[in-house]
Amino acid sequence: MIGNNAAPATTPAALSAKAFDGKRKLSINLGGQCSAHTDDALTIAESKAASQLYHPLAGSHELRGFVLDDGTITMRLSGPAARGDFKGKIDDAKGAGEAIIIHSDGDCSGKWTIAKQ
């Protein structure tokens, strides 16, 4: 039998959610009755995402969520006029996903993107 001198296979180290830490520009485009667009800051720190979104007619809303090591991000919007869910994927520099917002006038859906500042 011939010996095997090959080095054992190594698995790449998993990214830590901390790799996504930093401030990012969040852009939201909603269609339908909401037809809103906003550009706000999203801060990611220690696997947690947070933003304070403001709309002149709807007021201030909190956006909070979590980032997993693979870049999967989920966030929940809550406030006086609307609530909703954001899901998507991010990498070191950018990210994108979908949003579903429940507003007093009806449901709206759309896309969101983030870019590192």
**pLDDT band with cut points at 50, 70 and 90 for residue 7:** low
When comparing pLDDT for 60 and 37, which is higher?
Answer: 60
Alpha-carbon separation of residue 70 from 19, 30, 48 (angstroms): 10, 26, 14
* Fold designation for 17-116: Lipocalin (2.40.128)
**pLDDT band with cut points at 50, 70 and 90 for residue 49:** very high
Predicted pLDDT of residue 55? 73
Beta strands in the chain (DSSP E): 22-30, 37-45, 48-55, 59-67, 72-78, 82-90, 94-103, 106-116
**pLDDT band with cut points at 50, 70 and 90 for residue 11:** very low
User: What mean pLDDT, rounded, does the chain reach?
Assistant: 82
